[in-house]
Amino acid sequence: MPRAGPLCAYLVLLALRAADGSPREDVDVWVFLPRNDSYLFSHARVAPAIRYAQARLRSERDFSGFNFNLHFHDSDRENDALFHLVERSCGDKPDLILGPVGEYEAAAVVRLASHWNIPVVSAGALAAGFSDKKREFSQLTRVSPSYVKMAETFTSMFEHFSWRSALLVFEDDKEQRNCYFTLEGIYHLMVDISINTYTFPPEARLDADDVIRSILGNEVVIMCMGAEKVREIMLAAHRRRLTSGNHMFFNVELFNASSYGNGSWKRGDKYDNEARQAYAALKTVTLLRTVKPEFENFSMEMKKSSRTVGFSDGEDSVNMFVEGFHDALLLYAIALHEAMKGGLGKKNGTDITARMWNRTFEGIAGQVSMDVNGDRNGDFSLMAMTNTEAGTYEVVANYFGINETFQLLPAFDMQQFTLRERGAEHPAPEGPEKSCGLGVSALTGVLVGVVLGTALIIAFYFFRKHYRITIERRTRADACESGKHRQLREDSIRSNFSAA
């Protein structure tokens, strides 16, 4: 009997561990994703990646004792996620929250979860405002690079190439405001640069001429908008000779989808050749993609899931959000395992959150580095057209956020990033659009004729005036002559002038 106590304790401890020695724990995970498939982070796109991570953790020794109970909730409307959290939290609160992605949806959920010390891990909430983790967003961990991290890429380029001014051109829907938040980081981070903005609603017709007028006073143009409008602006800039090195053009495309402007110039229309020439001046900033063998299998599984729900094969099934939410569950599992080894449990949310920060781990696509503020260090690629005849793009440089360095690749061409002196930038557009059907030669002829005709009329006027003054002076000198003869002479002169 004296040994019953230690024996019971041993049996309890044994029950709390899996057969392979890993701790056992049931973890309730609430996942907030929209059901609306127009979002790149919809439930249909992202849920398979989370389940893939769940199965992967179950097969690994250190995490096989974790039973992640996934509960998916719709976050389509702004307050849906918050209402779900409040209503369900009247009972048992979740141990972990994944998402939401949208800035407005995430703000309310993260504030409440931080008050309750519940870890929140998201591949979204990328706006600059979420960087303040000292108070209301203290439990937020962001496993995708924030927009401020992307802005660091531009900061390094501006410093290296001594660019001093920029125009941010973006569409702003006043609802989700994706492009506003994307470029917001540049505006706030690059305080030593002269920055101007040009915005327009996505449903409005783009006034390319007005955009061009705004571009003229700036060295660098950074765009975030749909691919069609990127093309429209580049065509307009090319026709006004702004793409010959006197301005730098950048397109931000972080999400690996054409809805944010993917640098594609080809449409199969009569403007393709002109667009190809224009896009030779366009560089694209996107996420660095590293591929390891395990990623290939993951990508294949995501494509199968995409086809199952009816997404097209041409769509990128592994975007930033898909990767991010897979790595979110993995990162939490690592931190929870460490906490439990240290004698803590799943309800020690603040400690688990701290263990997810300032560390490096292997994600599904490669190494993931988290900074001391719980934000992923961003690695970005810079793409440029390297074959102007074929119109093909290559990665010419990589930026690594962990050490703030650029890696220049063999395809990098310094001339593509060197500003030339700005001369005559905005002549009348070539082609028929602005000349009422006249060709360039015909329009030049008309202009020359008008100028010569005007000069002739002015010369005629001054010559005639001078001649009259001469006659009148001569008439006064000949005062002795009769008034009749004087009048006849002046009438004769005027008559000859009229005939001329």
Confidence at 458, pLDDT banded by 50, 70, 90: low
CA 392 to chain centre: 21
Confirm if 164 and 191 have CB atoms less than 8 A apart: no
Sequence-ordered alpha helix ranges (H) in 16-130: 43-59, 80-88, 103-116
Which phi and psi angles does 58 have, rounded to 5°? -65, -25
pLDDT band at 255 (very low <50, low <70, confident <90, very high): confident
Specify the residue for token string 């918050």: 82
Region 258-275: mean pLDDT is 77
212: which 2 tokens? 């061009």
Residue 463 is predicted with a pLDDT of: 46
Q: Which residues contact 20 (CB under 8 A, 6 or more apart)?
A: 61, 64
Quote the tokens at residue 223.
């765009």
The helix/strand/coil state of 466 is: helix
The average pLDDT across 319-327 equals 95
Tokens for 407, please give them: 């890696």
- How far is 45 from 456, CA to CA, in rounded Å? 74
**pLDDT at residue number 84:** 67
Pairing of strands 392-400, 379-387: antiparallel
Please tell me which residue, 85 or 195, carries the higher pLDDT value.
195
pLDDT one-digit tens code per residue, 384-435? 999 999 999 999 999 999 999 999 999 999 999 999 875 545 544 444 343 3
Q: How far apart are CA 4 and CA 371, in angstroms?
A: 48
Please give the Cα distance from 294 to 76 (Å, whole number): 32
SS3 of residue 210 by DSSP: helix
353 token code pair = 């959150």
Q: Distance between CA atoms of 44 and 70, rounded to whole angstroms?
A: 14
| pLDDT of 251 above 60 | yes
CA distances (Å), 124 to each of 105, 140, 171, 255, 387, in order? 10, 10, 20, 11, 35
Read off the pLDDT band of 78 (50, 70, 90).
Answer: low
Strand 120-122 to 140-142 pairing? parallel
Q: Is 347 exposed, middle or buried (0-12, 13-18, 19+ CB in 10 A)?
A: exposed
54, 15 Cβ separation under 8 angstroms: no
Q: What is the CA radius of gyration of the chain?
A: 35
Is 111:137 a contact under the CB 8 Å cutoff? yes
Contact partners, residue 37, CB within 8 Å, separation at least 6: 44, 45, 309, 311
Per-residue pLDDT, 455: 59
The answer for residues whose C-beta is within 8 angstroms of residue 407's C-beta and 6 or more apart is 397, 398, 399, 400
The three-class DSSP label of residue 227 is helix
Mean local confidence (pLDDT), 71-99: 80
Tokens linked to 454: 């005007």
**Measured between alpha carbons, how far is 365 from 379 in angstroms, rounded to an integer?**
12
**d(C-alpha 340, C-alpha 239), whole Å:** 64
pTM score of the predicted model = 0.78
Q: What is the pLDDT of residue 497?
A: 34
433 Cβ partners below 8 Å, 6+ apart? none
State yes or no: pLDDT of 180 exceeds 60: yes
Q: Which of 31-35, 291-295, 351-355 has the lowest mean pLDDT?
A: 291-295
